[in-house]
Amino acid sequence: MANTKDRAREILNRLKKTYPKPGPFVEWSNPLELVVGTVLSAQCTDERVNRVTKNLFKKYRTAKDYMDADPAELEQDIYQTGFYKSKARYLCGIGTILTEKFDGEVPNDFESILSFPGVARKTAHIVMAKAFGKYTGVAVDTHVMRMAPRLGLTKHVEQEKIAKDLERLFQKEEYLHVNEYLITHGRAICIPRKPKCGECVLLDVCPTGILNSKR
């Protein structure tokens, strides 16, 4: 490949062909559910989150429901997602902020979403892209943090620096795709300890894969 940008384009194109339907990801039907589900997905698989939210979203339908929730009861409702005490506190806090400052609605504004308890840049980017169609940046989770350096798309290991490098390589409307396809490939092939380089469609455009294949 002539340069990193060309290689990045080839990587995304191949992943799109390999995974016609990336995922699974957090299931949601409105912005509030997306915020809640993404907060719960921290240190938890999306599949498990979806099992929990199937009942959770029936019980807690509005921001006020989370604001008024009994913390101990909410903790039990989300227990299976792990770190349930912190997450319950975040959800109650988010419900309070939304109810008191935003008329119970998730605002269409990155900085406002970023101000919610338990919400980092990754979550805010995902909510803005999926709920409002605004691509404010590449969401960098543990899969993206692992894969971007392996693929030679960044030399950095810090989350925000990786995001900036990826944002220079891809167009804004591709930011969500970059996140989703890298996550999907990271789960299937480019796993943490022993990536399956021999099965990888990116082998010839991946510096790490090329190096591993020569060993």
For residue 204, indicate whether it is catalytic.
no
For residue 155, indicate whether it is catalytic.
no
Of these residues, 141, 165, 172, 214, which one is catalytic?
141
Report the sign of the C-alpha dihedral through residues 191, 195, 200, 202, in that order.
positive
Contact 78, 40 (CB under 8 A): yes
Q: What b-and-e string marks burial along 139-155, b requiring 16 or more CB atoms within 10 Å of the CB?
A: bbbebbbbbbbbbbbbe
Of these residues, 87, 122, 130, 165, which one is catalytic?
122
User: Active-site positions?
Assistant: 122, 141
